[in-house]
Copies of this chain bind each other. A is one copy, B any other.
């Protein structure tokens, strides 16, 4: 309780963010109030800007501030490679690796019979359109290595078979990973995909 309605409201809103509970929201708000000029005001302004301008790219589903996102719009990235990811967070993770120079397609989730998510609920029809119309030569299915992710990858592979080269991310031991701490499935996958030195 901060004994003040506005501050209390701000704490309640902050506590709705993933990774922040009521306790850390209180700490964050006190920190914001102490650093009002340096942090609270710029943060409020930037939130206003993003709230006013953020939108999904009409082409790939990435989040940006224009109808076509910076990646789709970039001439440097106009290759024939299309990387299919579940979520914008996955796209950002791929971008951090700095390895991929093609463009993306964000599905917006995975197929799920339980939650009644079919291909129409995802951005799958749009993916099929793009493959047909954008001179795509390779579709990299970078979906999560979960049951749902792999089911979705199989469905997409079925739809696109014969039209384009389909690849998926390699599975195996993560860099820095210790065998003792890895699950059986990962070790099995790494063994199946073993390579000659």
Contacts and interface: CB of A to CB of B under 8 A. Distances in A.
A163 interface: no
A48 interface: yes
A6 B28 CA distance: 22
A interface SS class: helix
A46 B1 contact: no
A40 B2 CA distance: 22
Copies in the complex: 2
A179 interface: no
A7 B52 CA distance: 12
Interface of A: 1-4, 6-7, 9-10, 13-14, 16-20, 24, 26-33, 36, 39-44, 46-51, 53-54, 62-65, 69-71, 88-89, 92, 95-96
11 contacts: A1-B95, A7-B64, A7-B65, A13-B46, A17-B28, A17-B32, A20-B28, A33-B63, A44-B51, A47-B47, A48-B48
